[in-house]
Every structure is written in structure tokens, then in C-alpha cells.
Amino acid sequence: ANDPLGAGTLHGTAVIELQPLPPDVIASYLSDDGTDPRWQPVIDALVQPTPVAQVLRSPLYCWLAQDIYDPVRAGPSGRERNPADLVELGDDIAIEHRLMSGFMPSVYRNWDLSRGRWRQYSADAERWLVFIARYLQRRGRTDLAWWELSADLGQPVLASMAGLITGSLL
């Protein structure tokens, strides 16, 4: 009768819990098995109890760092970020903030820069994500049931959101 996770929780199902990553796995993942020297300051910081080592133990933050600092994703502008900046931040909250705030620009970096469209898509995506977060906050929820949105927001809004999400996956 007591179901803290909400109605319909599946009992007896497999659960996957991500564990902290060891330094050697982080180093191999970030530096492309040692072929990218830009990661050396970060790899050196992994063997000490540093803020960057602590943050990158999380699979999410490790993936974000690799994605955001990928030189291929720098696009035609050629302005790639330097991963050593993470070590220089020196504070786990600042490192987490840098990685989380760098995600949207990283995802939309490969759009058609010659037409300036990537900025608009990035701004639209950010606006919709803020809208969804506020929608969930007003409803006192943390889970998003997309099929319930049309009743609350209407079909045109839902279609616009679906287009944006689909566009970001391409």
C-alpha cells in the first residue's frame, strides 16, 4: 500500500546504479587512450584528491567534460576549449557549473554556423527547458509525463516542443 515512488512501481525489476569511475578509466576515456595531450593537466589532477578528480568520478560529469571539450565539436570557428581550465577552477561547484552550463552550447555547436542558426536553436532549447522545469516546479513534480502535456499546454505547444526535441537529436 505504501508506494513512495508513485503508483505503478515495478517490483522485482533489475536496477542499475552508476558507480564512481576510477582515475584510470576517466583518463582513458577523456584523453582517447592517451592520444590527446590537452587532457594531461586533468589526468595529472586525477591522482590527487582534487576537486576536478572528485567531480569527474561521476559518469555524467565525465561524459559532459569529454563532450564539451571535444575538438571535433569546436566547429568551423576552430575555437576549442581547453580542458586544463577545469583544473584551474579549483572548486567542485564551479567545475560542475562549468560542465552543466557548457552542455547546451556543445550540443548545438554543429548546426549550420554559416547561417547563424545554431544560436537560435540553442536559445529555443534553453527557453523550452526552463519552461518545462518551471512547469514541473509549479505542479510539484520531478517526473515528466510527456503524454500529459497536451492536456495542460495544448497541441500547438506540444508540437513545437516535439519539433525542437527531434531537431536536437539529429
| Residue pLDDT, tens place only, 2-57 | 555 555 566 777 778 889 999 999 999 998 877 788 999 999 999 999 999 999 99
pLDDT of residue 1: 46
pLDDT of residue 133: 84
Dump strand ranges (E) for 41-142: none
pLDDT of residue 165: 58
Q: Is the pLDDT of residue 71 over 50?
A: yes
pLDDT of residue 88: 93
CB 87 within 8 Å of CB 41: yes
Q: What is the mean pLDDT of the chain?
A: 77
**Nearest CA among 48, 49, 130, 59 for reference residue 99:** 59
Percent of the chain with pLDDT over 90: 32
pLDDT band at 58 (very low <50, low <70, confident <90, very high): very high
pLDDT of residue 150: 67
Rounded to whole angstroms, the Cα distance separating 23 from 26 reads 5
Q: Is the pLDDT of residue 158 over 70?
A: no
